């Protein structure tokens, strides 16, 4: 059975992280559960989320992320072209509006 992200994250569950919050302090635990403390977004957490989704939910990964497989451009013009191309792919604007 496949459920949406909204349904999955709408329920509060006990996790390793939440147990660590409780170990730190019951008040701290409750503040997290009631969203008084906002979780910070860290690049390594985002990477973990991407890896998890690519392995366990590949059908959803394609909807949320774009995988680019190319080497880093060496010249300024190549870099500019790649940035415009990514902008075009993300926003679905016309090639002319993207400057390509």
For residue 4, is it within any domain?
no
Is residue 55 located within the same domain as residue 22?
yes
**Residue 81: band (very low, low, confident or very high) from pLDDT cuts 50, 70, 90:** confident
pLDDT above 70: residue 55? yes
Domain count, the chain: 2
For residue 3, is it within any domain?
no
Is residue 58 located within the same domain as residue 92?
no
Question: Which pLDDT score is estimated for 93?
Answer: 58
Give me the domain span that covers residue 80. Answer: 66-100
**Residue 46: band (very low, low, confident or very high) from pLDDT cuts 50, 70, 90:** confident
Is residue 21 located within the same domain as residue 57?
yes
Residue 33 in tokens: 């559960």
Using an 8 Å Cβ cutoff, are 83 and 93 in contact?
Answer: no
């Amino acid at each position: 059975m496949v459920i949406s992200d909204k349904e999955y994250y709408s329920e509060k569950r006990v996790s390793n992280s939440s147990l660590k919050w409780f170990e730190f302090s019951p008040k701290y635990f409750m503040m997290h559960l009631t969203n008084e403390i906002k979780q910070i977004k860290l690049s390594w957490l985002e990477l973990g989320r991407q890896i998890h989704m690519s392995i366990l939910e590949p059908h959803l990964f394609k909807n949320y992320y774009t995988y680019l497989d190319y080497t880093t451009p060496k010249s300024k013009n190549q870099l500019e072209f790649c940035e415009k191309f990514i902008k075009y792919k993300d926003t679905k604007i016309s090639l002319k509006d993207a400057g390509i």
